[in-house]
Amino acid sequence: MSYLMEFLSSVSLFGLAWYELLAIYTVPGVSYALFHLLKEFRNRPSEFARGMLAAIGKKKSIIDHLINLSAYSIASLCIAFGWPLFGIWAIFQSRKEAALEIERNKPDFDCLPEYLIVKVNPVDAEIASYVVDPLGTVPSLPFGYLNQGWVNFLADMLDPNDEMWSFHIPKGSLCGKHRFAATSDMRGYAKVRNGEILGEFITEYD
C-alpha cells in the first residue's frame, strides 16, 4: 500500500498532483453519466403511471429502490473511469446504425443479380414488345399499356455506364430486398451500373 502511495505521490504532470489528474480524467465520464442520469430522471414514470403500477401490484419496494440505486452507482463509476471505452463503443454503434440506415433506405427491386440474363439494346427490346390483340384494345406503343413505365425506365438511364439487362425470376425464387418468394414468373428489364441493379421495369407478373 505504501508503495502505491509512494508511486502516486511521485506522479506529476504540468505541476498537477495525481488526484488532480484523476479528477481531470474523470470529468468527461462524470459529465456523460450525469447527463444520462438527468435524462433517466426526466423520463421517470409519471404520477399517473406510478399509480397504475401500484394498482396492478407492481409498486416498487424499498429493496427495488436500493437495487436501482446500486445499479446506477456502479454504472456511473464504470462510465466515469471507463469513458474512453464507452466512447469507442458509441462510435462503433453510430457507424453500425448509419450502415443499417443506408441499407434500409436502399430501393427495393425484385430483381437480383443472379436473375439477369443478357445485356439488351433498348431498340431491340422495343421491337419485341409490341402486343398482339385481335380486339385492338392495346395502344400501338412499346409494351402497350405499360408504355408509361417503360418511358420512365428509359428516362432514368442517364449515366453512360448504365446497361440494360433482361431478367427472369422463376416462380418461387427469392427476390427483392426482403427475399420474398416470387408468386409467379417475373420478367422484365433491369438498369445495371457496375454490376449493381439500380432500376427495373417489370413486363410480366401476376
Partner 1 sequence: MTAQVSEKLIYGGKEISLFTNPLSLYLKNAGISFQSPHTANWRGYVGTWEILEHDGVERLYLVRLSAHKTYEEILSLSDVFPGHDKVFAHWFSGELRCPQGAQLEYRHMGYGSIYEYDLLMDFKQGILVHKHARHNEVPKEKDEKDYPEFLRRGPQ
Residues binding partner 1 (CB under 8 A): 131, 133-135, 137-138, 144-146, 148-150, 152, 183-187, 201-206
Q: Which is nearer to partner 1, 37 or 198 (CB)?
A: 198
Residue 161 grid cell: 455506364
131: nearest Cα among 66, 204, 191, 65? 204
CB of 145 to partner 1, least distance (A): 6
Q: Which is nearer to partner 1, 115 or 201 (CB)?
A: 201
141: nearest Cα among 153, 155, 154, 127? 127
Give me the helices (H) in 11-136, please: 18-42, 47-55, 62-105, 122-127
CB of 36 to partner 1, least distance (A): 33
- Report d(CA 185, CA 182) in Å as an integer: 7
Q: Which is nearer to partner 1, 64 or 133 (CB)?
A: 133
Q: Which is nearer to partner 1, 89 or 205 (CB)?
A: 205
Contact assessment for residue 76 and residue 29, using Cβ atoms and an 8 Å cutoff: no
Please name the helix (run of DSSP H) or strand (run of DSSP E) that holds residue 153, with its range, or none: helix 147-155
Which residues is 134 bridged to in the sheet?
A: none
- Report d(CA 43, CA 38) in Å as an integer: 9
Residue 22 grid cell: 484523476
CB of 118 to partner 1, least distance (A): 19
CB of 203 to partner 1, least distance (A): 6
Q: Which is nearer to partner 1, 149 or 176 (CB)?
A: 149
CB of 200 to partner 1, least distance (A): 11
